[in-house]
Amino acid sequence: MRFSELMREFDVEEGTFSGDDCSVRRLSDLQGYFADEAAYEAALEAGDPIVYSVSAFTPSNDEGALHCAIARIEPGRIGCEWYLTKGHFHAWRAAAEFYIGLGGEGVMVLESEHGESQMVYLKANSIIYVPGYTAHRTVNTGDVPLVYLGVYSAAAGHDYGAIAQRNFLKVVVDFDGKNTMIDREVFLETLA
């Protein structure tokens, strides 16, 4: 590997690595991920904004290699639910990950394969250890972009399918100005 390939600059405001294309997820890419379907359809009728973008630094796929992603979630809500990432397990379930907050304020929803959930705060100058066997989703609970890095094994892989099928069991919503993680089913009952 050439030494010139070992370093990337990143832009904390934009949430991108220099010289890399970023993947953009718009509201229309997130069909089925927000709990309030009526609010989702209404928001989509009004436009198709960018919800988040991800840029990756993948210098090697050799055994033992690491990858790094930088992501930016825009501020916004669908109904009471904050803008979020799709979330995923790692294809290699045992692979852990560090999330490092660079700007903004948000939370991570961590959910074990057995359905145990916790909400952990992610903001600038904070770092979160995501254990293996744990689905993870990031949520922007602030009014500015949430920008963070994720550092993970090159062998981790991303399994979005399991979450796409059943979604997370909890939602993070703004109830009277307070960020609350509640059961998806309980939240859906409040909408009925």
Q: Which residues bind Fe ion (CB under 5 A)?
A: 97
Residue written as tokens 């550092």?
A: 151
Q: Of 178, 160, 162, 180, which is closest to residue 170 (Cα–Cα)?
A: 180
Q: From the CB of 158, what's the least distance to Fe ion, in Å?
A: 6
β-sheet with 170-175: strand ranges across: 77-78, 81-82, 170-175, 178-183
Q: How far apart are CA 90 and CA 159, in angstroms?
A: 5
Q: From the CB of 99, what's the least distance to Fe ion, in Å?
A: 8
Q: From the CB of 124, what's the least distance to Fe ion, in Å?
A: 20
Pick 97 or 111: Cβ nearer Fe ion: 97
Pick 29 or 37: Cβ nearer Fe ion: 29
| Upper half-sphere CA count for residue 154 (Cβ side, 13 Å) | 11
Pick 163 or 173: Cβ nearer Fe ion: 163
| Upper half-sphere CA count for residue 81 (Cβ side, 13 Å) | 26
Pick 81 or 97: Cβ nearer Fe ion: 97
Q: From the CB of 185, what's the least distance to Fe ion, in Å?
A: 26
Q: How far apart are CA 148 and CA 171, in angstroms?
A: 21
Q: From the CB of 4, what's the least distance to Fe ion, in Å?
A: 27
Q: How far apart are CA 170 and CA 116, in angstroms?
A: 10
Pick 40 or 134: Cβ nearer Fe ion: 134
